[in-house]
Amino acid sequence: MEELSHFINGQRTKGGSGRFADVYNPATGEVQAKVPLATVEEVNDAVAKAAAAQPAWGATNPQRRARVMMKFGQLINENMDMLAEAVSREHGKTLPDARGDVQRGLEVVEFCMGAPNQLKGEFTTDGGPGIDLYSMRQPLGVVAGITPFNFPAMIPLWKMAGALACGNAIILKPSERVPTTAILLAELLQEAGLPDGCLQVVNGDKEAVDALLDNDTIQAVGFVGSTPIAQYIYGRACSNGKRAQCFGGAKNHMIVMPDADLDKAADALVGSSMGAAGERCMAISVAVPVGEKTADALVERLVPRIEALKVGPYTAGDDVDYGPLITKAAQDRVKGLIDRGVEEGATLLTDGRDFSLQGYENGYFVGPTYFDNVTPDMDIYKEEIFGPVLSQVRMDSYSDALKLVMDNEYGNGTSIFTADGDTARDFANRVNVGMVGINFPIPVPLSYHTFGGWKRSGFGDLNQFGPDAFRFYTKTKTVTERWFSGIKEGGEFAFKAMD
């Protein structure tokens, strides 16, 4: 049995707590490794080492920090297959999906190569008689990133790239279910030239999280996960005087208008709802066709597409559309929600509860599942299922569909498929959701914009990556200056030499 480690001061370090969590192979249900769970003392020691390393890194000019990011990006590209295999082995997602996981994180690293431009301050000359003003962005010090299981590479890269490019040291606490990828990324960063101690990877559970939230040296915390935990971390971090950006759950809708290209809409719905086994915070889990004719036509297109999906382990290669869920508990929860959908009266068009794969009977698989005639009072609508389940809620009008989206407690992502520009523009302007797709199913912005949800999908004023990352991971200092270069004597200035 492989025993994993932390990454402290530039090297893999065994845990000292004696506590471990099992790391499973989701396709077989077998334990493939054990990961140490850090104590409060281990967390605090890692933070202290990061605090010792940060001043020199923070004093390194942004151009030199950017060169480390450039080398890091090169190493990620060179090791893409190795990283993707590590993601798939612990998460279960297909290799193409895992490569996408790494790629979307790499794009944020590439944006952070522009740190010198992003960290420029502002200058005002002659704000008053002989008075100039200028601002500068300075690192916070030591920050923390707490990342989820569903993107073992992408979200850790979102956290570490921005924090480090700004001159901070960062403590990364990845999900204990998928710990390996974060360690591999840390080693690549060391190879790229990051000084020892500037990135510490500490594995752990709630004890480690609370230690980070309560440590006075930690100046900011970034989190991605479920809404209850996001709200908890946000509240505790803020009460301890830290900056916090915490992103939670989602219930993403796609409105399908009668004038939409229904074949393209159906393809988009299948990929966005079932891809990565539905374990994406940007997954479209609710289809909202407008009008009975549109809904019936969508069913005709969706059922055969969903039934044709291939489910299996990542080792089956590119022929698999999606893999298992992350744990047995996740599998049981998704199946239980499907049961409740049937009990509540939704029409089950494709049923994934009894899916079984020869040789992988103990894997955490759920087949593709599609409900029609779902209503907003049903649990399968109200809860984030986080599995390969698509619910269809029929609406009579665009106004009713828009109200459904806007009344939902989550506001992460949403989409509309339509051929009418006026409808699309109205939707984009009015909907109270942070990321909007128009004829685009998964509206994750590119790295030079920013990622963040509204309502109960996000807590905090600043979003992830893009320009907001540089704002979040720095503090602004403003200087007002006036120079007295001489003293007036006899009506003339006698200038003094300045040291």
Domain that holds residue 422: 252-438
Residue 315 DSSP code: G
Residues 368, 345 share a domain: yes
For 220-242, how does the pLDDT look when each residue is reduced to its tens digit (9 = 90+)?
999 999 999 999 999 999 999 99
pLDDT at 201: 98
Question: For residue 264, is it within any domain?
Answer: yes
Residue 234 lies in a domain: yes
Of the candidates 112, 198, 246, 281, the residue annotated as catalytic is 281
CATH code assigned at 326: 3.40.309.10
Q: What is the mean pLDDT of the chain?
A: 95
Asked if pLDDT for residue 385 goes beyond 90, the answer is yes
Averaged pLDDT, 329-343: 98
327 occurs within a structural domain: yes
C-alpha distances out from residue 178 to 22, 26, 33, 156, 331, Å: 10, 11, 10, 11, 17
Least confident interval from 8-17, 290-299, 467-476, 481-490: 481-490
Same domain as 297, residue 237 = no
User: Residues with Cβ < 8 Å from 1, sequence gap 6 or more?
Assistant: 31, 33, 34
In angstroms, the CA 418 to CA 160 distance is 38
Q: Is residue 491 part of a domain?
A: no
Report if residue 450 sits inside a domain.
no
102: enclosing H helix or E strand: helix 95-112
Give yes or no: residues 10 and 150 share one domain.
Answer: yes
According to the model, what pLDDT value does residue 487 have? Answer: 52
Tally of structural domains, the chain = 2
DSSP H or E run through 238: helix 227-239
Residue 155 pLDDT > 90: yes
CB atoms within 10 A of CB 32: 15
398 SS3 class: helix
209 or 499: whose pLDDT is higher?
209
How confident is the model at residue 295, as a pLDDT?
98
276 Cβ contact list (under 8 Å, min separation 6): 93, 97, 150, 283, 322
Same domain, 289 and 308: yes
How far, in Å, CA of 19 to CA of 266, rounded?
A: 47
- Residue 99, in any domain of the structure: yes
Quick one: pLDDT at residue 429?
98
Residue 498 confidence class, pLDDT cut points 50, 70, 90: very low
Report the b/e string of 331-370 with b at 16+ CB within 10 A: bebbbebbeebeeeebeebbebeebeeeebeebbbbbbbb
> What does the pLDDT read at residue 330?
97
pLDDT category at 196 given cuts 50, 70, 90 is: very high
> Are 69 and 198 members of one domain?
yes
Strands (E) across 157-314 are located at: 169-173, 199-201, 218-224, 243-247, 252-256, 284-289
Average pLDDT of span 243-256: 97
Q: Which residue has the tokens 């901070």?
A: 168
Phi, psi of 331 (to 5 degrees): -60, -45
My answer on whether 326 and 400 are in the same domain is yes
pLDDT at 135 over 90: yes
335-339, 471-475, 481-485: which has the minimum mean pLDDT? 481-485
User: In whole angstroms, how far apart are CA 227 and each of 145, 384, 388, 412, 457?
Assistant: 16, 10, 20, 11, 7
pLDDT digits over 79-101, tens only? 999 999 999 999 999 999 999 99
Q: For 394-417, what is the mean pLDDT?
A: 98
Are 244 and 261 within one domain? no
Contacting residues for 3 by C-beta, under 8 A, at least 6 apart: 14, 20, 33, 34, 36
Quick one: pLDDT at residue 93?
96
Percent of the chain with pLDDT over 70: 97
Q: Which two tokens stand for residue 488?
A: 């007036």
Mean pLDDT of 171-196: 98
CB count in 10 Å sphere of residue 63: 10
CATH code, 110: 3.40.605.10
Q: Are residues 340 and 476 in the same domain?
A: no
410 part of a folded domain: yes
- pLDDT given at position 110: 98
* Residue 281 designated active-site: yes
Say if residue 495's pLDDT is above 80.
Answer: no
> Residue 490 has what pLDDT?
53
User: Does residue 16 sit in the same domain as residue 165?
Assistant: yes
Checking if the pLDDT of 484 tops 90, the result is no
Contact 47, 171 (CB under 8 A): yes
Whether 229 maps to a domain, the answer reads yes
Q: What average pLDDT does the segment 374-383 reach?
A: 97
Are residues 209 and 329 both part of a single domain? no
The residue written with tokens 């809708």 in the block is 253
Verify that 303 and 193 share a domain, yes or no. Answer: no
> What is the predicted pLDDT for the residue at 7?
98
Q: Does residue 354 share a domain with residue 224?
A: no
Residue 492 has pLDDT above 60, yes or no: no
